[in-house]
Structure formats: C-alpha cells, structure tokens
Amino acid sequence: MIQYLKDIWENIQSVFATMGIVDYLDILLLAYLIYKGIKIIKETRAEQLIKGIILLAILFFVVNQFQLKAMKVIIETFLNVGIIAILIVFQPELRRVLEKMGRTTKVKKLALNFESKTDAATADIHNCIEAVCTACEQLSQTATGALIVFERETKLGEQIDTGTIINATPSPELFGNIFFPNTPLHDGAVIIRDSKVYAAGCFLPKPQKEELISKALGSRHRAAIGMSEVSDAVIVVVSEETGTISIAENGSLTRFYNKDTLRKLLTQKLVPEKPESKKLKDKASKKKKKNAPDAKKEQGADK
C-alpha cells in the first residue's frame, strides 16, 4: 500500500514537471466549472444525491482494488441504469441549471434589445411602472394582498397558461379590481408582458428550498421567491397581513418599499438606458476615478 502511494506521488510530480501555461489555464478553468457546479448543486435537492454518488465512487474504488467481482458487477449495473434514472428524476433541476446558463449568455443580447427600444415603448414602460406603484401604494394602505410579475427575457408561458388572458392597459383601478378580496383572480399572480397586464390569476412555482424561508412570509412571498429562482422576472408583492411592499429577484426578497423607492427600483430594472446617457455616465465615472487621487492629497493637506 505504501509503495502504491509512493508511485502515485511520483506520477503526480512527473505530470507537474511537464506542464505548461496552457495546462495550468486548463486546470483553473476546470476548477472554476467544478466550483460553479457545486454552487448550483447546493441550491437544489440534488445535494444529497451527489453525496451518495461520491460514496458509491469510493466503494467502487475499494471493490476494484480488492477484486470483489460480485460487488463490482452489481455496482457497474447500478451505475449504468442509475445515470438514466438521475436524468429522469432530476429533470426539473437540470432544466433550471440550463436556464441559468442561458440567462447569463443573454446579457449582451439584453443590452442590444434595450437600446433598440423606441421612445414610445419606453413611455409605455414608464406608464406601466407608475400604474403599478400607485396601485401598490393604495393596496398597501388597505392591506390588500397583491402579486405582480414583470416578465423580462425569460418567457413565462407556462405560468400564463394557468391564468386568464386579459391583455389590458395597466391602471391602479384595474389592479384594484383584480386583487379585491374574494374575486375570482385575487389569489393568483398578475403577469405583465410588454407593458400590458397580459394575464391574471396565474400560479407560480414553489421555491426550491421552501423549508429555509421564514415562516413569517406568506404564500405570495414564497411564490414570488420561487418565480425569481427560475426566471429573470422582477416580482412585486404586497402583504395582506401588514401591507408591506416587497420585491423578489434572483431568488432573494427585499422588503419595506414605498411608492418612491419602488418606482426608482423598477425604473432601474425595467427601463432601457439610452446609449447617450450610458456614455455620459461612463465618462463621469472615469472622471471621478481620475480625480480621486487629487482629492486624497487635499484631504491629507487638511489634516
């Protein structure tokens, strides 16, 4: 056994001795992919499965070393069938992972789409945001529950199919009617597509790790978190218990918004930034960084 370990160590040393820069870059890239893979797995119910696979791999290594033929056949058969079983059982998790990968590759595409928006479309977004903010303020004052989803790059066709198509111009009165207690659509979510109230009474997916969410949060907040985990949507929630306005995005929930702070955040997230204003901001940022050393010198002189 000791000789075997020595041989392994010598092999490792010989490999590192012949490695070049490209090989090190290859290892770094592989390490990064493993890190991202572990991070994604920890966010899903596949974590326990991976632990089981690791234990099975260790068992297979031991069986192979001691030439336990019967056990080897059983484990090999299990692994051959198990791969297909894993793909079937964990299909939702695999889908989420692929969706996340797809969203990260769409960042540049999103920017191009935003820049190509017309002034009329931008005005529609502003009007929609204003209607939502006014409605949320009114619903908050009466502690009327509401769940409003802004669709972005990830299309929400599955959720829309569970509700009722409205395709109406947003207004505080419309939201008030939809979320009025005991009306047919008040328990579901409103989905906004292209600055229109496209559907209402929609069901949203549950969060991946519901047991980790605070018990103080109700079903609307949980649904909002679940929706934000599987899409790039921005979800606004009004609590029917306290009237608190919250926003869910990228699997996290931020709370205690008022009309002004809600408008500011939704504008940042949903309104496309014009190329001219973006260039001006970049120039201002560069100028600020350039002047930073001079400012530090002046502060030192004041001391």
**Contact indicator for 236, 245 with CB cutoff of 8 Å:** yes
145-201, pLDDT tens digit by residue? Answer: 999 999 998 889 999 999 999 999 999 999 999 999 999 999 999 999 999 999 999
Measure the CA–CA gap between 168 and 80, rounded to whole angstroms: 53
Residue scoring higher pLDDT (39 or 122)? 122
Res 96 pLDDT > 70 = no
The residue type at 77:
T
The residue type at 89:
V
Q: What percent of the chain has pLDDT over 90?
A: 43
Measure the CA–CA gap between 146 and 269, rounded to whole angstroms: 20
Cα pseudo-dihedral 134, 138, 143, 148, rounded to 10: -30
Per DSSP, the three-state class of 297 is helix
Q: What percent of the chain has pLDDT over 70?
A: 75
Alpha carbon 78 to its chain centroid, in Å, reads 34
pLDDT on residue 129: 98
Please compute the mean of the pLDDT values over residues 69-83 and round it to a whole number. Answer: 78
Please compute the mean of the pLDDT values over residues 92-101 and round it to a whole number. Answer: 66
**Contact indicator for 154, 231 with CB cutoff of 8 Å:** yes
pLDDT on residue 208: 81
pLDDT on residue 261: 97
Nearest to 148 by CA among 87, 237, 36, 43: 237
- Domains of the chain in start order, with CATH, are 2-103 (no CATH), 118-273 (3.40.1700.10)
Nearest to 93 by CA among 186, 7, 209, 191: 209
Residue scoring higher pLDDT (85 or 207)? 207
Residue scoring higher pLDDT (291 or 38)? 38
- For every residue of 73-130, DSSP letters joined together read HHHHHHHHHHHHHHHHHTHHHHHHHHHHHHHHTTHHHHHHHHHT--HHHHHHHHHHHH
From edge to edge, which strands make up the β-sheet containing 146-150?
A: 164-168, 196-202, 189-193, 146-150, 234-238, 245-249, 252-257
Res 300 pLDDT > 90 = no
123-153, pLDDT tens digit by residue? Answer: 999 999 999 999 999 999 999 999 999 999 8
Residue scoring higher pLDDT (223 or 116)? 223
